[in-house]
């Protein structure tokens, strides 16, 4: 097994976990990491970013938070220290090749077997095909890229970095605007002092209403004060939460609350139980909404969302407001504006279908990332690109696409407590790589079938062009 070559791409939380569990199964993985640090997104966030998940739900199962972290929601430095300590403790760091950016992945069939599709027949490894991993040296860009042949690839390149999502209007009308335009990831990459100097004495508009938008706007408002207020510009209001409320919600996500939601393939009794319990779900949602309207001046600033709190939870897009967010709104250093942006003009943004204008010096797009594009972009095969972007089919065990052989993706699906789900998937994947998950066609020794819940993998890839 150790002779099999496993490449892990990315040394964020999912890459570290994949490596740790692969090592435990006696594999010999190598981790390619484009940056010079361990921890992925936690290496460069804006200064005020804190964990949004209570720390007890964002904890490695075999590595507790240190006693020195007393906060329920640690800040980004504490998260980074914790993740790095884990990587050191489980000897993941020596496996990482820093400054190594994987520019493409090419699946090649060995010439003897090129009529057989290259699939593993439900096995992780196959002698019929290998991945060619092309790696650029970021620290010495003039060096020619290296090409490695690998038996299995685990993609852990993250969802919230590298390929920014910029609205179409910005691309078409950017040239008209005399001010500066950037994405929140560029702002987050600045040092604290550099970021404060960049926005000092400037009118700044932050576009978006997700975590990075709200955090960025609050931070700029704090630095600039009411003299140069920062505007948070958004199309739709979302439910936001307080630390207490998030703790309460997490504690109530129990086996009992699970019964309130009917899930695919559950039987008639559980379906009936979910129907009977649905009023409880509704009451919970309404109570939370009332509480949030009570603690925040949502009515006063027209910030009550049109959808229910329950819908917000289902989308996994909940966020904790930065401390004193509405204090900044009250003092006038933060302006909340709901509007549809149409485009740029020379002094700022055109809003509300062209009927109003907003003058500004800087526009920061905190409008998310194109994670599909990022993952698809790494494959040289059009077939595999289509598997990522053209299909709404869920991945097997949320990590394996049945048409992409000898490859898994960790860190792609959403969850309110990502570390926990990444850990579960990494464990399962390590079992699969170790041949402990029996294939539908009868592979593997099945020795750990019980431990993994009698799992049966059916992973027949189709023939590649
Ligand atoms: C501001 C912010 C706050 C968050 N807060 C929470 C929270 O409170 N709770 C929660 O559960 N989740 C939160 N998340 C989600 C977060 O994404 C996960 O917690 C987790 O850190 C993601 O880890 P990852 O390893 O999947 O991806 P990343 O952390 O993005 O790591 C990916 C790594 O892959 C590397 N990489 C990318 N492309 C290549 C390539 N081609 N070649 C080589 N290396 C490459 C990158 O350099 C990076 O180091 C937050 C995310 C952000 C951005």
- 187 and 271 part of one domain: yes
Find the helix or strand (DSSP H, E) in which 290 lies. Answer: helix 268-295
Name the DSSP class of 34: S
- 260 and 135 part of one domain: no
Does the beta carbon of 32 sit less than 6 angstroms from any atom of ligand 1? yes
- 18 and 78 part of one domain: yes
Higher local confidence (pLDDT), 368 or 111: 368
- 272 and 357 part of one domain: yes
- 133 and 108 part of one domain: yes
Range of the structural domain that residue 297 is part of: 168-365
DSSP 98-117: TTEEEEEEEEEE-GGGTTST
Q: Are the beta carbons of 452 and 436 closer than 8 angstroms?
A: yes
Give the model confidence (pLDDT) of 244-289 as tens digits.
989 988 888 888 888 888 888 889 999 999 999 999 989 989 999 9
Does the beta carbon of 74 sit less than 6 angstroms from any atom of ligand 1? no
- 300 and 434 part of one domain: no
Q: How many domains does the chain have?
A: 2
pLDDT at 458 over 70: no
Does the beta carbon of 78 sit less than 6 angstroms from any atom of ligand 1? no
Give the model confidence (pLDDT) of 289-335 as tens digits.
999 999 999 999 999 999 999 888 887 777 899 888 999 999 999 99
- 289 and 342 part of one domain: yes
Report the separation in Å between the CA atom of 434 and the middle of ligand 1, taken as the mean of its atom positions. 26
Give the model confidence (pLDDT) of 16-35 as tens digits.
999 999 999 999 999 999 99
User: Which of 9, 20, 41, 82 is the pocket-test mutation for ligand 1 (most atoms within 8 Å of CB)?
Assistant: 41
Q: What is the dihedral of CA 250, 315, 155, 61, to 10 degrees?
A: 10
Atom number of ligand 1 nearest to Cα 32 = 43
- 202 and 307 part of one domain: yes
Paired tokens of 166: 């910029």
- 352 and 387 part of one domain: no
Does the beta carbon of 241 sit less than 6 angstroms from any atom of ligand 1? no
Residue ending a domain, choose from 348, 365, 382:
365
Residue 379 sits at φ, ψ, to 5 deg, of -85, 135
Q: Is 255 exposed, middle or buried (0-12, 13-18, 19+ CB in 10 A)?
A: exposed
Q: How far apart are CA 99 and CA 306, in angstroms?
A: 45
| Pairing of β 341-345 and β 348-351 | antiparallel
- 136 and 67 part of one domain: yes
Tell me the CATH number at 115. 3.50.50.60
pLDDT given at position 118:
45
- 322 and 426 part of one domain: no
Does the beta carbon of 435 sit less than 6 angstroms from any atom of ligand 1? no
| Site of tokens 């069939």 | 109
- 95 and 19 part of one domain: yes
Residue ending a domain, choose from 346, 365, 384:
365
Residue ending a domain, choose from 299, 332, 365:
365
pTM score, whole prediction = 0.89
Q: How far apart are CA 315 and CA 250, in angstroms?
A: 15
134, 200, 260, 285, 456 from 254: Cα distances, Å: 45, 46, 10, 16, 27
């Amino acid at each position: 097994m150790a002779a099999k070559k496993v490449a892990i791409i990315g040394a964020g939380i999912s890459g570290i976990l994949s490596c740790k569990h692969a090592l435990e199964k006696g594999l010999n993985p190598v981790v390619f990491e484009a940056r010079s640090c361990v921890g992925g997104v936690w290496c460069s966030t804006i200064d005020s970013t804190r964990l949004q998940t209570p720390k007890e739900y964002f904890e490695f199962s075999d590595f507790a938070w240190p006693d020195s972290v007393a906060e329920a929601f640690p800040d980004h430095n504490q998260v980074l220290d914790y993740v790095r300590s884990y990587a050191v403790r489980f000897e993941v760091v020596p496996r990482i090749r820093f400054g190594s950016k994987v520019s493409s992945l090419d699946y090649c069939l060995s010439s003897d077997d090129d009529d057989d599709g290259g699939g593993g027949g439900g096995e992780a490894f196959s002698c019929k095909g290998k991945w060619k991993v092309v790696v650029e040296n970021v620290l010495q860009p003039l060096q020619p890229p290296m090409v490695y042949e690998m038996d299995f690839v685990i993609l852990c390149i993250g969802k919230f970095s590298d390929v920014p999502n910029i609205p179409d209007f910005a691309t078409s009308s950017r040239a008209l605007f005399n001010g500066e335009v950037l994405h929140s990831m560029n702002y987050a990459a600045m040092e604290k002092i550099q970021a404060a100097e960049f926005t000092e004495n400037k009118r700044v508009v932050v576009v978006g209403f997700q975590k990075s938008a709200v955090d960025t706007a609050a931070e700029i408002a704090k630095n600039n004060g009411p003299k140069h207020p920062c505007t948070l510009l958004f199309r739709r209001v979302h439910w936001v939460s307080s630390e207490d409320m998030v703790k309460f919600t997490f504690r109530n996500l129990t086996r009992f609350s699970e019964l309130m939601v009917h899930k695919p393939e559950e039987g008639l009794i559980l379906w009936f139980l979910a129907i009977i319990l649905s009023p409880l779900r509704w009451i919970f949602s309404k109570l939370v909404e009332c509480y949030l309207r009570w603690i925040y001046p949502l009515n006063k600033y027209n910030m009550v969302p049109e959808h229910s709190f329950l819908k917000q939870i289902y989308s996994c897009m909940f966020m904790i407001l930065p401390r004193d967010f509405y204090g900044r709104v009250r003092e006038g250093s933060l302006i909340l504006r709901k509007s549809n942006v149409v485009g740029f003009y020379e002094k700022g943004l055109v809003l509300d279908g062209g009927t109003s204008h907003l003058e500004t010096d800087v526009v920061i797009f905190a409008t998310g990332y194109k994670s599909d594009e990022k993952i698809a972009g790494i494959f040289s095969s059009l077939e595999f690109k289509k598997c990522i972007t053209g299909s709404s089919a869920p991945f097997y065990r949320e990590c394996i696409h049945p048409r992409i052989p000898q490859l898994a993706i960790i860190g792609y699906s959403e969850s309110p407590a990502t570390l926990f789900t990444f850990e579960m998937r990494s464990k399962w994947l390590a079992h699969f790589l170790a041949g402990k998950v029996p294939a539908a066609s009868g592979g593997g020794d099945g020795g750990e079938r019980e431990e993994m819940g009698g799992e049966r993998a059916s992973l027949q890839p189709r023939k590649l062009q």
